[in-house]
Amino acid sequence: MERSRIGPLVRDGVLVLPPTAAEGPAPRSWIEALEALAAAHVDGLRRVLALDGGTDPVWYAALDAFGALLASRGLPAMRLREAPTRSEAGRALCDLFDEAARVEARRRPFQAADSAPEAPPALAALQAVNAARPDALFAAVPVIDPALCTGCDACLRVCPGDVLILIKDGDGAEAYDCHPAACDACGLCGEVCAASAIELATMAKGVGSIGLRSWVCDGCGARVHMPEAAGHGHGLCPVCRQGGHHKKLFQVLP
C-alpha cells in the first residue's frame, strides 16, 4: 500500500480518499488534491473510493475539476464510488471492480500506510497531454490584463514553472506567451504584480499571447516594453512617467 503526501491510500488499484484527518491530512487546497488525483491517474489508477461520506469537500471539488480536465483532453475518466459506512466499503469496492477481482478486494482490510512518499508533479505532465485541443481546460491559467500591465516582467521572473515567458519573433516583435500546462497555481505572479494586472483563472482555457510594443525611454534611456493596449506612455517608461525621475536626472547632468 502506498500513500501520497496528502493522504489518499492506494489499495489494489483503488484510490481511497481518507474520511478523517487522523487517516490522512486534508489537502490544503483543491489544486493539491488535483495534483494527487493526477499522480494517481498517471500511475494508471482509474477507481476512487470515498469512505464514510465524510470525505473532505475539497476532494469532491477536485474530483469534479479533474473529471472536466480529463474530458477536455479525451483521457479516460476515473470512476467514483462512495461508501456511507465502513461496512459498505466492501460493496462499493466491488462496484469498482469486475467480477474476477471482487473476492480478492473483499478479503483485505483497510490499513493506514506508515510512510508518506512525495507525490510526483504529475498534474503538469497530464495537462500537457492533448493540451493543443481547442476545448482543453487547464487547472490554473494566469490571465494578464493588457490594459493594466506595465510590462515590468516581474511575473515572468518569479514564475517557477516558466508558465509566462517573453517571446520574440524573427522581426524582433515581442510578446508575453503563456503555457498554463506547467502552472501549479502557486499565486506568486499575482503577488508580485504591483499593477494588479494578473489573475489566476481556474479550470479555464488557455489564453493567447499578448503583443508588446518596445521603445527607448525618452527620460532615462532604458529599453522598455508594454502591451499595445496599455499605450506608449508618451515616450517615457512607467518609472519616469510616474515618478518624474528623469526631470531630476537632467538637473544633475552636466
Binding site for ligand SF4 (CB under 6 A): 140, 142, 144, 149-155, 158-161, 163-164, 183-189, 192-193, 195, 197-198, 200
Q: Cα 72 to the chain's mean position, in Å?
A: 15
What pairing do the DSSP bridges indicate for beta strands 47-51 and 79-83?
A: parallel
**Which residues, 6 or more positions from 81, have their beta carbon under 8 angstroms from its beta carbon?**
47, 48, 49, 50, 92, 93, 95, 96
Taking the least distance from each CB to ligand SF4, the nearer of 113 and 148 is 148
Amino acid type, 108: R
Question: C-beta of 144: minimal distance to ligand SF4 in Å?
Answer: 5
Taking the least distance from each CB to ligand SF4, the nearer of 12 and 29 is 29
Per-residue buried b or exposed e for 30-39, using 16+ beta carbons within 10 Å of the residue's own CB: bbbbbbbbbb
Taking the least distance from each CB to ligand SF4, the nearer of 113 and 158 is 158
Question: C-beta of 27: minimal distance to ligand SF4 in Å?
Answer: 17
Taking the least distance from each CB to ligand SF4, the nearer of 16 and 197 is 197
Amino acid type, 170: G
Q: What whole-number distance in Å separates Cα of residue 99 and Cα of residue 121?
A: 34
Question: C-beta of 165: minimal distance to ligand SF4 in Å?
Answer: 10
Question: C-beta of 179: minimal distance to ligand SF4 in Å?
Answer: 9
Taking the least distance from each CB to ligand SF4, the nearer of 51 and 230 is 230
Question: C-beta of 154: minimal distance to ligand SF4 in Å?
Answer: 4
In contact, 215 and 224? CB cutoff 8 Å: yes
